[in-house]
Amino acid sequence: MSDQADAKSRPPVDNGEEQDTKSQRDENHSPSLPQRSRNDLQSRVYNIRPNAGSLQALIINNLPASNITGEKDTMLMRESLTQSGFSVKCKTRMKIEDMEICLKEEADNMPSGIDCFVCVVIALGGDGFIKGFCQNASQTKTLSREAIYEHFKGNNCKPLVLKPKIFIIMSWDKAPGSRMQADGDTDEAEVFKIPTDSDILVYECHMSGRPEHGYNEDGSWLIQSLSGVIQKNRERSQSEKIDFLRLLTIVNSEMATKQKSSNLTRSDSIPLVTSTLTKLIYI
């Protein structure tokens, strides 16, 4: 991933940006903010450097092992993010307790030189929440949408202050291809509003798991479209590249086209974009 803004859209980056010498853990919990250059603060575009470790991503696939959709989506997003310069970690079939620990550890150990963090969650769930993995569906616990990114907000993860935090959530009310509703699928969780903290983008799509709704043998429509749009944008020349929010608009347009040939309603197939980003970001 690289900063694709042209010279007119922002001032040059100050390569003498002061580095924080404290440990990662101390910085995460320090009351003072990490050092930021004046150009970085005033820029209209997020300063995304191609340095190793500056781009971090976490992919969590909580769909059952027998479900190929989750495996395909994980592969597509891992390849797409890796090609964009991200260091990618993949986790599968996590209980909610383990997922909460994983998210907190990821935030606590965020490197001080981070420029962007992306988290992708593929799971069963509902409007505003996802489910953990559990062999006994009746004992499945849920995690609210807000809880997924709570640890990465500025007050909890200082290295990500003023840095873009992107969360992509693909959920199903029951496993894709399942014709029967499993025990526990009626569980509900409290739905929270997106917080007003800046520099957060949540891209969420929830679909029915009925046969052929929102997926095929290559994975979910959403992840296929998103990875394809990112790939096409990566192949564009520097001056023609499109910022990430506009890329999501293209994905939504493709999702609307797919909806026309299915039994899904328009509201069921169009992902929701909620953004408090304060600058443009290019992937």
Residue 62 sits in a domain of what CATH number? 3.40.50.1460
pLDDT reported for residue 36: 55
Q: Does a structural domain hold residue 282?
A: no
Residue numbers of the domain that contains 255: 7-275
Q: Does a structural domain hold residue 281?
A: no
Distance CA 153, CA 161 (A): 8
pLDDT of 175 above 80: no
pLDDT reported for residue 42: 73
Exposure b/e, 228-243, CB count within 10 A at least 16 = b:
ebbeebbeeeeeebbb
Distance CA 25, CA 27 (A): 5
* CA 60 and chain centroid, separation: 10
Q: Does a structural domain hold residue 1?
A: no
- Check if the beta carbon of residue 40 is closer than 8 Å to that of residue 47: yes
Q: Does a structural domain hold residue 107?
A: yes
3-state secondary structure of 203: strand
pLDDT reported for residue 209: 64
Statement: the pTM of the whole predicted model exceeds 0.85? no
SS3 per residue for 144-178? EHHHHHHHHCCCCCHHHCCCCEEEEEEEECCCCCC
pLDDT of 135 above 50: yes
Q: What total of structural domains would you count in the chain?
A: 1
pLDDT digits (tens, 9 = 90+) for 47-58: 888 776 899 999
> If residue 73 lies in a helix (H) or strand (E), which one and from where to where?
helix 68-83
pLDDT of 88 above 90: yes
Q: Does a structural domain hold residue 210?
A: yes
Q: Does a structural domain hold residue 283?
A: no
pLDDT mean across residues, the chain: 80
pLDDT digits (tens, 9 = 90+) for 96-111: 999 999 999 999 999 9
Q: Does a structural domain hold residue 2?
A: no
pLDDT digits (tens, 9 = 90+) for 187-220: 444 444 444 478 999 999 988 766 567 888 899 9
Distance CA 181, CA 210 (A): 10
